[in-house]
């Protein structure tokens, strides 16, 4: 579902490509990360929208938490692709959670929920608010935990050189519905 | 070098296992919990994890990881009368060093590491649970190892019955555990599953009622829910409601605590991530037996908290 109220990228794609090229040529050899570093700094602020960044299974409850100083005029949020297209895949409405002692959870007086339980399409996404703020990326899918390993179990092993401990860490951490 | 017991002063091979977080101490208290939990997960995922090669690899990995702990625990229980509960002491915090230099005679940088003799029913019960589970799960691939595990489960459980007290760490403030009845209930329940002997089932019920609810989440200090869940499936029908009520009391406590923006079911403490994971275990196990799905959702919120849905927005 498309929603014009949710901003995406104000820079025209053609101008962006020219800018990318110029900046890469100018700074790519002297700035670690070159243009990428500059591009990240130009993105909308990525916090505070808090959510599980390792991922969600398709059919389980899914929630991002949005702490705030004040109310949002437009409480719409979107789930957008985490790629250059930023295509909107789902639109929802923030609900406020009223809690008398909310400031003990991060110094913000108000908290809003972005619930997207009904969105089940596998992929890699971000939560985006109507003011342009967006979350860190997260995967959605049955295999979203596949990349995880028993890293702690390996890192904390004794009497084995660290580099030799990895073969025992072959098991993926899976979740079940 | 052994501290206390019949072999005081003798050298002792306590290599292997896992070291603690931030230092190189090794505790039976934490390692037995982790090992038992890995094996419990292995069993729990037997029916639910997705089939096929990936599911098989996942379970194989769990078993491989658990063996690291089991082999070390077997070293810490070398004979039926001996049990050692800790490697290293508080001095471990006083210097930065490479662990591979430890225990080398006269290395001048570090003293020989002490290995402490002693046992409490908390350590014995949890270790018995781990050994008993290992005896069943390694039976097919490594029957000799499984037989060693079964013998160790029975002998360490016996040590627990002879030492009905808590022994945690030295100093005790490192991991201040308070209860042993829950661990003995878990150990006896797993021994019943491994041996089929009714005496273990009777003992498990007795210890379970002594333990009651934890009044806290599952943790290295409280294995109540794990014990009650395990026992529930083998207990007479007349006992099941009582066990479920204990589990409900703990799950309900977490539900009330979780009434906050992040749905966190534990107060902020030293080790909030572990407590959140333990809250998830308590709620998941209760949800599985009761069918009350709201507790499953609470469990997932704990996982989400650990994985980034928290006031810092970071992965624990």
Q: What is the DSSP letter of B305?
A: H
CB A83 within 8 A of CB A8: no
Please enumerate in sequence order all residues whose Cβ is within 8 A of that of B142, keeping only pairs 6 or more positions apart, or say none.
Answer: none
Interface pTM, i.e. ipTM: 0.84
For residue B18, list chain A residues with Cβ-Cβ distance below 8 A: 153, 156-158
CA distance B314 to chain A (A): 8
For residue A153, list chain B residues with Cβ-Cβ distance below 8 A: 18, 34, 65, 68
For residue B100, list chain A residues with Cβ-Cβ distance below 8 A: 161
Query: Does A24 have pLDDT greater than 80?
Result: no
Question: Hey, are the CB atoms on A171 and B62 less than 8 Å from each other?
Answer: yes
Residues of A with CB under 8 A from a CB of B: 47-54, 60-61, 63-65, 67, 97, 99, 101-102, 105-107, 111, 136, 138, 142, 146, 150, 153, 156-159, 161, 168-174, 176
Q: Please tell me the pTM assigned to this model.
A: 0.85
Question: Hey, are the CB atoms on A99 and B261 less than 8 Å from each other?
Answer: yes
Rounded to whole angstroms, the Cα distance separating B284 from B265 reads 13
Question: Hey, are the CB atoms on A171 and B300 less than 8 Å from each other?
Answer: no
- Quick one: which of B28, B1, B41 has its CA closest to B230? B41
Nearest to B64 among A138, A146, A168 (CB): A168
pLDDT digits (tens, 9 = 90+) for A4-21: 333 333 344 344 444 344
Nearest to B315 among A54, A105, A156 (CB): A54
Who has greater pLDDT, A102 or B191?
Answer: B191
For residue A50, list chain B residues with Cβ-Cβ distance below 8 A: 262, 308-311, 313
Query: Does A50 have pLDDT greater than 60?
Result: yes
Rounded to whole angstroms, the Cα distance separating A120 from A128 reads 17
Q: Would you put residue B308 in left (φ > 0), alpha (ψ -120 to 50) or beta?
A: left
Name residue A78's beta-bridge partners. Answer: A91, A128
CB B278 within 8 A of CB B253: no
Query: Phi and psi (nearest 5°) for B236?
Result: -60, 155
Ranges of residues in chain B whose predicted pLDDT is under 50: 106
> The sheet that has A95-97: what strands, in order across it?
A63-68, A110-115, A95-97
**Searching chain B, which residue's CA lies closest to the CA of residue A107?**
B311
> The sheet that has A138-140: what strands, in order across it?
A88-93, A76-81, A123-129, A138-140
Please report the pLDDT score of residue A25 as a whole number. Answer: 35
Please report the pLDDT score of residue B51 as a whole number. Answer: 56
Please report the pLDDT score of residue A142 as a whole number. Answer: 85
Question: Hey, are the CB atoms on B62 and A60 less than 8 Å from each other?
Answer: no
Rounded to whole angstroms, the Cα distance separating A94 from A116 reads 10
Distances (CA, A) of B233 to A177, B230, B285: 22, 6, 12
pLDDT digits (tens, 9 = 90+) for A127-169: 999 989 999 999 999 878 765 655 566 667 776 665 554 433 3
Query: Phi and psi (nearest 5°) for B27?
Result: -120, 135
Name the one residue in this structure whose structure tokens are 């150990």: B187
Question: Hey, are the CB atoms on A169 and B18 less than 8 Å from each other?
Answer: no
Please report the pLDDT score of residue A9 as a whole number. Answer: 38
Q: How many Cβ pairs closer than 8 A exist between chain A and B?
A: 115
CA distance B203 to chain A (A): 33
Q: What is the DSSP letter of A136?
A: P
- Helix B294-306 to helix B237-257 angle (10° resolution) is 50
Residue A56 binned pLDDT confidence (cut-offs 50, 70, 90): very high
């Amino acid at each position: 579902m498309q929603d014009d109220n949710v901003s995406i990228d104000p820079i025209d794609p053609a101008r962006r490509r020219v800018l990318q090229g110029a900046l890469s040529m100018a700074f790519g050899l002297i700035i670690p990360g070159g243009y990428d570093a500059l591009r990240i700094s130009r993105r909308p602020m990525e916090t505070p929208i808090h959510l599980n960044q390792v991922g969600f299974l398709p059919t389980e409850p899914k929630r991002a938490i949005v702490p705030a100083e004040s109310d949002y005029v437009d409480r719409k949020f979107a789930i957008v692709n985490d790629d250059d297209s930023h295509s909107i895949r789902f639109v929802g409405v923030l609900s406020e959670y009223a809690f008398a002692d909310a400031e003990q959870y991060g110094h913000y007086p108000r908290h809003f929920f972005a619930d997207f339980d009904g969105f089940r399409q596998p992929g890699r996404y971000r939560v985006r608010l109507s003011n342009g703020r967006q979350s860190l990326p997260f995967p959605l899918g049955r295999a979203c935990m596949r990349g995880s390993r028993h890293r702690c179990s390996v890192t904390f092993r004794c009497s084995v050189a660290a580099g030799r401990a990895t073969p025992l860490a072959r098991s993926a951490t899976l979740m079940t519905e | 070098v052994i501290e206390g017991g019949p072999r005081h002063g003798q050298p002792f091979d306590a290599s292997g296992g896992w070291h603690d977080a931030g230092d190189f101490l090794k505790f039976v208290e934490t390692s037995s919990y982790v090992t038992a939990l890995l094996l419990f997960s292995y069993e729990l995922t037997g029916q639910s994890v997705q089939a096929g090669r990936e599911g098989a690899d996942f379970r194989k990995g769990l078993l491989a990881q658990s063996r690291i702990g089991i082999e070390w625990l077997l070293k810490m229980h070398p004979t039926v009368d001996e049990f050692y509960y800790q490697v290293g002491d508080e001095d471990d915090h006083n210097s930065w060093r490479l662990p591979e230099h430890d225990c080398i005679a006269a290395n001048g940088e570090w003293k020989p590491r002490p290995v402490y003799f002693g046992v409490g029913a908390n350590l014995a019960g949890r270790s018995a649970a781990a050994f008993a589970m290992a005896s069943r799960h390694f039976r097919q691939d490594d029957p000799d190892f499984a037989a060693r595990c079964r013998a160790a489960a029975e002998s360490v459980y016996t040590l627990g019955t002879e030492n009905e007290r808590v022994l945690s760490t030295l100093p005790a403030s490192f991991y201040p555990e308070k209860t042993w009845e829950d661990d003995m209930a878990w150990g006896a329940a797993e021994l019943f599953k491994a041996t089929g002997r009714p005496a273990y089932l009777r003992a498990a019920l007795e210890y379970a009622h002594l333990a009651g609810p934890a009044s806290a989440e599952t943790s290295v200090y409280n294995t109540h829910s794990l014990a009650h869940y395990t026992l529930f499936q083998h207990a007479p029908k007349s006992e099941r409601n009582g066990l479920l009520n204990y589990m409900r009391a703990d799950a309900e406590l977490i539900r009330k605590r979780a009434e906050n923006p992040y749905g966190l079911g534990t107060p902020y403490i030293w080790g909030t991530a572990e407590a959140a994971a333990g809250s998830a275990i308590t709620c998941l196990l209760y949800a599985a037996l009761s069918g009350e799905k709201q507790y499953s959702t609470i469990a997932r919120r704990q996982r989400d908290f650990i994985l980034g849905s928290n006031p810092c927005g970071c992965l624990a």
